Structure 1
Amino acid sequence: MTEKNTITPGMTAAVVGFGLAGRAMVRYLSGRGARVLVSDARQESALAESERAVLSSCVAELECGRHSADFLSRADLLVLSPGVNPAHPAIAAVQRTGVEVIGELAIAAPLLRRPVIAITGTNGKTTVTELIGALLAATGRSVFVGGNLGTPIGSLLLDETDYDVVVLEVSSFQLELSGAFVPQVGVLLNITPDHLDRHGSLARYAAAKMRLLQGGPKRTEAVINGEDPQLITALPPQWHGSAVRFGTHPDAAASVDGERLWIADAGGGTVYDLSGAALNTVSGRLNSAAALLAVKRFEIDPTLAQQVLVSFQVGAHRMQVVDDIDGIRFINDSKATNTGAVSSGLSQAGGRVVLIAGGKDKGDDYRLLRETVRERVTNLVLIGEAAPQLAAALGDLVPVHYAASMDDAVSRAAELASPGDTVLLSPACASFDMFDNYQQRGDCFVAAVRRRRQADQRQAVAS
């Protein structure tokens, strides 16, 4: 990877936030010869041994338990981890003195010499990113797949592999401070309310997403959901005639028709069949259409692409069917951290649903769930800090029950469900009030369901 950026030996760079992305960035900056400061909101006693090892080898000074202007003002440059709000008073104060504040995408922008496909949207980002990676990898290309989905951008900068293509999932948090980052292909899947506790309004959240297209039509090929009203409203005027669209309309460049996808091409079009595939859901078909358009320039053989679509498996915590116990289906949709994702999950679940929801509030308007809840949910089991807000928004529609833990929630939901029903964990909230992340929340749900299965088996043996 060719290196040419603003990081120079001897400069002082402060990394704010020492999570996965922050640690990778610390290692990169240190390797470039920068004097690295780290500011993390956690207490030092909470740091793991692996984190302490990075600090010991790469960091000159450490601040824990807060972000202070006094500490950060010692740096020539602030590099914010995605989870750190640029509006934090200490960061804003330092920025007013003229210190540049950027994110990991801004650091990476001048280093990316290979084609970059970047994917954003409220829901579906991870699936589409992984599917694009799988389609490209099937051709024998060397592909980096990362960003917001787990492998941080800093790891790409540390990696000496000469990748053919870079595929990045990017969040609104990352795009806020993306600097001169301009992908060759930018995929915008959808926009529904999310992270309003940070962005302040849906309009500002949408504007952050639109930074994906800041390079303009001459530098970025835009692939967009042509039927998403919030996305179309936020789309800058210069893109209305140039963006490539997917959806259910027959005139779309990628059109969904039942279980089949039609991709327009010079020869008229190519049809893909998703029957029997894990992607054969309402959202899965749209995600597949977006992915196929994103890789169109790479001229992947249709037969090979069809094989990838049929064999692709959606990752854990996204409408993951865990078990069927006594005719009750248990589904883990822990990644559904906003109302749009919950509505989609309820629609895909079909039939009668006992919904487990709640967690740490992100400023979403839970009243947006009223229509879907009224149609599909028989009982609502609530967990976490946002339980009162969810009850206030939905409690007049269905019976509400409260649970103190995931085990309690699964037990209550199973008792409320009847054969043929689905118990769905689809929280509409972040996980950080009770869990480390949405993965741990989903794992706890899966473990609780499995314990219930084991209890049923023991009871059957005893009888």
Structure 2
Amino acid sequence: MQISRGTQAVVIGLGAAGLSTVRYLVNRGVRVRVSDRRAVEQIPPDTLAFLKQAEVALETGGHTAAFLAGADMVIPGPGVPLDLPVLQAARKQGLPVLGELALAAGQYAVPVIAVTGSNGKTTVTSLIGELLRASGKNPFVGGNIGTPLLDYFADPQGYDAVVLELSSFQLDLAGAFRPDIGLLLNISPDHLDRHGSLEAYTLAKQNLFRHQQLGDRAILGADDPVAAATPLNPEVGRFTFGRAEGCTARIADGRILLTLMAGALSGKTEYVLSGTTLHSSVNQLNAAAAILAVTLAGCEQAGIAEGLRRFVPPPHRMAEVATIDGVRFINDSKATNIGALEAALAGCESPVVLIAGGRDKGSDYSLLREVVGRKVKHLVLVGEAAGLMRAALGSLVPTEAATTMEDAVRRAMTAAASGDLVLLAPGCASFDMFSGYDERGRVFAECVHQIGQERLEA
């Protein structure tokens, strides 16, 4: 989106993305004001110093409609609820409410690969970045993965591609943004507390493809019926990955079989995942999606194979923590919705003692009954959603509640036998007990290691 100098913008929320938005706008001569719900004492001093130097007005302690006076646009951060009264007031005044993606639309000077889905986004985004680097390219990797997507414009020189992980929150306000290659991995119920329904959440994800045009490509997870049925503009190239016959990137016996019929890219290639960190059933899907994306971006087999060999998945995703008395402990703290929990359990071959729970996101836990009944021998519940999960699943397996993560790990160890697997896959957000899924995963690992040390010393 082109913005003229002298435009006045109000940014709502001063998180990492909000601060990046302020920098982006200031560098384009926009007159910026920022409203944040925190008290001024809670805002980092270096942030306050930047705002003062850039002559950015700051409202703290909440958001008021009066602060919008004279604004030409309002830009909420991705984590800002869209039903905030100040945003409702903006809409009533006829002010455009834009997201960071809308600002970036049409501004990237290099091809954009964008990844969304309920589960696997970070792994696929990180893997695409690694495969591009192994192929001799220099990608900017950002978005929901940690580096704000507008940070690209602070120093765009030298990048060959942009790889973005995008959440439904970001895609809610995507504007005219369109990726050259867009990936929708899967759809399962998540963030229903924000979107209100699975249908609304799905539509937000599908915004990724809304403005694609001739020459653009869409990659869809064929194993997921909702993702596979995503409508596309007729001139957009449709490609699929999954386990079914006919997929462009098909998973078979731990290999990825890639068949392309796209001009210069036409041909068949094969990638073997044994000996890599991507051999699990979940990561086979992630690998297939990433391989397909970078092949469409022009990478060749040798570079892709090297990238697969050296890739290390992000932490807290089916990560081995320890084996104690024959019991394996697996940290999948990033399983923050029921789709991720279901996928984690589906890939387990040993009897599972499951640690689950946290802050509810409006999920229907009864959807887990089939996989829990088939895979789980004992269930330990934590956090605010424990009661809801017990009501939905407690009749299937022995179930108990724990008050802390240490209590949960000890109860799980007691319930497990040699050959079992203790799996932390919460299926919920972490914010009732932890600052994020990463802290939850670290605390889980610390508790496991403490038990291991106690066993050694006994």
TM-score band w.r.t. shorter chain: over 0.9
Equivalent-residue separation in structure 1 for 2:393 and 2:68 (angstroms): 44
1:401 matched to 2:400: yes
1:261-276 to structure 2, matched below 5 A, reads 261-265=256-260, 268-276=267-275
Letter in 2 for 1:204: A
1:256-295 to structure 2, matched below 5 A, reads 256-265=251-260, 268-295=267-294
Identify the residue that residue 110 of structure 1 maps to in structure 2.
Answer: 106
Equivalent-residue separation in structure 2 for 1:428 and 1:216 (angstroms): 33
Contact 1:329/1:422 (8 A) holds in 2: yes
Letter in 1 for 2:369: R
Displacement after TM superposition at 1:48 (Å): 3.5
Letter in 2 for 1:274: L
- SS across alignment from 1:315: coil
Higher alpha-carbon deviation: 216-225 or 355-364: 216-225
Equivalent-residue separation in structure 2 for 1:360 and 1:15 (angstroms): 28
Equivalent-residue separation in structure 2 for 1:109 and 1:216 (angstroms): 11
Distance 1:160 1:309, change over 3 A: closer
1:341-356 to structure 2, matched below 5 A, reads 341-356=340-355
1:442 matched to 2:441: yes
Contact 1:125/1:189 (8 A) holds in 2: yes
Contact 1:182/1:219 (8 A) holds in 2: no
Contact 2:184/2:220 (8 A) holds in 1: yes
1:223 matched to 2:219: yes
Equivalent-residue separation in structure 1 for 2:416 and 2:312 (angstroms): 28
Equivalent-residue separation in structure 2 for 1:170 and 1:221 (angstroms): 17
1:5 matched to 2:11: no
Distance 1:49 1:450, change over 3 A: farther
Equivalent-residue separation in structure 1 for 2:415 and 2:51 (angstroms): 49
Distance 1:23 1:216, change over 3 A: closer
1:325-364 to structure 2, matched below 5 A, reads 325-364=324-363
Deviation per CA, 1:191-242, whole angstroms, max 9, x where unpaired?
Answer: 1111111111111111111111112441520111123111234x12645994
- SS across alignment from 2:396: coil
Identify the residue that residue 456 of structure 1 maps to in structure 2.
Answer: 455
- SS across alignment from 1:78: strand
- SS across alignment from 1:90: helix
Q: TM-score when scaled to structure 1?
A: 0.93
Equivalent-residue separation in structure 2 for 1:173 and 1:211 (angstroms): 11
Equivalent-residue separation in structure 2 for 1:210 and 1:40 (angstroms): 30
- SS across alignment from 2:422: strand
Letter in 1 for 2:271: Y
Displacement after TM superposition at 1:50 (Å): 4.2
Contact 1:328/1:417 (8 A) holds in 2: yes
Identify the residue that residue 248 of structure 1 maps to in structure 2.
Answer: 243
The count of corresponding residues between Structure 1 and Structure 2 is 454
- SS across alignment from 1:191: coil
Identify the residue that residue 320 of structure 2 maps to in structure 1.
Answer: 321
- SS across alignment from 1:111: coil
Equivalent-residue separation in structure 2 for 1:121 and 1:239 (angstroms): 22
Distance 1:327 1:59, change over 3 A: farther
Distance 1:63 1:431, change over 3 A: farther
Displacement after TM superposition at 1:18 (Å): 1.5
Distance 1:352 1:89, change over 3 A: same
Identify the residue that residue 61 of structure 1 maps to in structure 2.
Answer: 57
Identify the residue that residue 119 of structure 1 maps to in structure 2.
Answer: 115
Identify the residue that residue 380 of structure 2 maps to in structure 1.
Answer: 381
Letter in 2 for 1:95: R
Q: Which of 144, 148, 154 is the equivalent residue of 1:148?
A: 144
Equivalent-residue separation in structure 2 for 1:46 and 1:341 (angstroms): 34
Displacement after TM superposition at 1:128 (Å): 0.9
Equivalent-residue separation in structure 1 for 2:453 and 2:39 (angstroms): 39
1:175-186 to structure 2, matched below 5 A, reads 175-186=171-182
Contact 1:73/1:94 (8 A) holds in 2: no
Structure 2: unaligned runs, 5 residues or longer: none
Distance 1:431 1:239, change over 3 A: farther
Letter in 1 for 2:248: A
Distance 1:434 1:332, change over 3 A: same
Letter in 1 for 2:257: W
1:69-84 to structure 2, matched below 5 A, reads 69-84=65-80
1:170 matched to 2:166: yes
Higher alpha-carbon deviation: 203-212 or 415-424: 415-424
Identify the residue that residue 43 of structure 2 maps to in structure 1.
Answer: 47
Identify the residue that residue 199 of structure 1 maps to in structure 2.
Answer: 195
- SS across alignment from 1:349: coil
Displacement after TM superposition at 1:144 (Å): 0.4
Displacement after TM superposition at 1:44 (Å): 3.3
- SS across alignment from 1:117: strand
Deviation per CA, 1:84-106, whole angstroms, max 9, x where unpaired?
Answer: 12222220121120111101111
Distance 1:58 1:398, change over 3 A: farther
Equivalent-residue separation in structure 1 for 2:315 and 2:50 (angstroms): 29
Q: Which of 121, 127, 130 is the equivalent residue of 1:131?
A: 127
Equivalent-residue separation in structure 1 for 2:439 and 2:67 (angstroms): 33
Distance 1:436 1:73, change over 3 A: farther
Contact 2:216/2:237 (8 A) holds in 1: no
Q: What RMSD in Å do the two structures reach over aligned CA positions?
A: 2.0
Distance 1:248 1:375, change over 3 A: same
- SS across alignment from 2:226: helix
- SS across alignment from 1:175: helix
Equivalent-residue separation in structure 1 for 2:407 and 2:19 (angstroms): 36
Deviation per CA, 1:127-162, whole angstroms, max 9, x where unpaired?
Answer: 111111111111221110111111111211222433
1:161 matched to 2:160: no
Higher alpha-carbon deviation: 416-425 or 44-53: 44-53
Identify the residue that residue 85 of structure 1 maps to in structure 2.
Answer: 81
Deviation per CA, 1:74-126, whole angstroms, max 9, x where unpaired?
Answer: 53221111111222222012112011110111111132121001111111111
Equivalent-residue separation in structure 2 for 1:109 and 1:241 (angstroms): 18
Letter in 2 for 1:5: Q
Displacement after TM superposition at 1:293 (Å): 1.3
